């Protein structure tokens, strides 16, 4: 009997359907207004890449996230919430941001991106303290390099839980806030060239899969949430020259990464900031569901 009821429910179910915007001027996806006629060329250039409102950056205590935060503040970001599992690890750098941008409101929050209730409460706190949430940048993530035959189920689940599920939960929490605000906004996920092709020489199946999932997730959310004025895009960095890729044990890998790159080197953290500003500013107003690869040409081979 239960099997029959299950089958009846399957056959008679109604599929939910996503709705698209009509793109009208009265919608949240209408075209941007033209630049004011009184602006000169310099004023138009500044307005084109102006970053407005308030942002949450997850994994905000990391090198790439802090570099991105500085760039967004330089382009006019009014409020910034640096959210991290351990924001104290970068207390000195965060203090420097506050000193360098005294007109901006910069706060820190302890955030476990895999805890839906924690995400919900942090988003609510940030919205209350800053007034709104207009931008989300998902930098939180971990790397794992283990041969697939040696990988434990726990390691596999941990990498996907933090990198993929964590990004989804944060995007979901912020999208709900943006929808309540009826203001729209920009969500930027950090994918990787690892989501586009297999790494060499290090084995890291769990990481590659987690980042490939981000590329698909970004597209799904871009389709579903556009009608709310929410743009969802991603950036796929190549090998970046940060503390995560330092140390004598990585010399051979670093040499391989550079030799297999048309530009012959790794990327500098500041080289991710241009694409980030683009996606968070008015310059990226018609970019939705896009992925920007920043890798010096590594994946052309």
pLDDT digits (tens, 9 = 90+) for 83-92: 999 999 999 9
pLDDT over threshold 60, residue 155: yes
Q: pLDDT tens-digit profile of 161-188?
A: 999 999 999 999 999 999 999 999 999 9
pLDDT confidence of residue 15:
87
CA 294 from centroid of its chain's CA atoms: 14
Distance CA 221, CA 89 (A): 32
In the CATH scheme, what architecture does the domain 40-295 have? 3-Layer(aba) Sandwich (3.40)
Report the pLDDT value the prediction gives residue 252, as an integer from 0 to 100: 81
pLDDT digits (tens, 9 = 90+) for 44-54: 999 999 999 99
pLDDT digits (tens, 9 = 90+) for 17-46: 999 999 999 999 999 999 999 999 999 999
Tell me how far the alpha carbon of residue 147 is from its chain's centroid. Answer: 27
CB atoms within 10 A of CB 60: 26
* Residues with a known catalytic role: 192, 207, 211
pLDDT in tens, 188-200: 999 999 999 998 8
Q: Are 182 and 287 in contact (CB under 8 A)?
A: no
pLDDT(301) > 60: yes
Instruction: Tokens for 47, please give them.
Output: 């307005």
d(CA 204, CA 297): 21
E strand map for 61-127: 79-84, 105-110
State the average pLDDT over residues 110-116: 97
Outline where DSSP puts E strands in 129-195. Answer: 135-138, 185-190
- At residue 277, the pLDDT reads 98
Whether residue 12 is predicted with pLDDT greater than 80 in this model: the reply is no
| Rounded average pLDDT over 259-271 | 93
Which pLDDT tens digit goes with each residue over 198-208? 988 889 999 99
Query: What is the rounded average pLDDT for all residues in the chain?
Result: 93
With a CB cutoff of 8 Å and minimum separation 6, the contacts of 107 are: 79, 80, 81, 82, 126, 129, 130
| pTM of the predicted model as reported, rounded to 2 decimal places | 0.93
pLDDT at 255: 86
- Confidence class of residue 4 from pLDDT cuts 50, 70 and 90? low
What is the pLDDT confidence band of residue 7, given thresholds at 50, 70 and 90?
A: confident
Predicted local confidence at residue 286, as pLDDT = 97
DSSP string, 33-65: PPPPTT--HHHHHHHHT---SEEEEETTTSHHH
Does residue 2 carry a pLDDT above 60? no
């Amino acid at each position: 009997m239960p099997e029959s009821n299950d089958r009846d429910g399957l056959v008679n179910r109604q599929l939910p359907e996503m709705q698209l915007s009509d793109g009208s001027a009265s919608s949240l996806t209408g075209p941007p207004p033209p630049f004011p006629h009184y602006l000169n060329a310099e004023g138009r250039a500044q307005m084109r890449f102006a970053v407005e409102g308030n942002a949450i950056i997850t994994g905000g205590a990391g090198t790439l996230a802090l570099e991105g935060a500085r760039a967004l503040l330089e382009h006019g970001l009014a409020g910034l919430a640096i959210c991290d599992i351990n924001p104290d690890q970068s207390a000195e750098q965060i203090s420097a941001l506050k000193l360098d941008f005294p007109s901006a409101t910069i706060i820190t929050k302890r955030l476990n991106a895999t805890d839906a209730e924690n995400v919900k409460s942090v988003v609510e706190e940030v919205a209350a303290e800053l007034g709104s949430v207009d931008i989300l940048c998902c930098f939180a993530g971990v790397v794992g390099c283990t041969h697939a035959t040696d990988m434990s189920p726990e390691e596999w689940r941990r990498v996907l839980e933090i990198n993929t599920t964590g990004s989804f939960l944060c995007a979901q929490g912020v999208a709900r806030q943006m929808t309540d605000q009826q203001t729209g906004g920009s969500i930027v996920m950090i994918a990787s060239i690892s989501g586009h092709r297999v790494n060499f020489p290090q084995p890291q199946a769990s990481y590659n899969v987690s980042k490939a999932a981000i590329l698909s997730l970004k597209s799904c959310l871009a389709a579903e949430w556009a009608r709310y004025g929410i743009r969802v895009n991603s950036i796929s960095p190549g090998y970046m020259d940060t503390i995560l890729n330092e140390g004598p044990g990585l010399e051979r890998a670093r040499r391989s990464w550079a030799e297999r790159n048309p530009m012959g080197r790794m990327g500098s953290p500041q080289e991710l900031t241009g694409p980030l500003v683009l996606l968070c500013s008015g310059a990226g107003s018609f970019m939705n569901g896009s992925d920007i690869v920043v890798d010096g040409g590594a994946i052309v081979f």
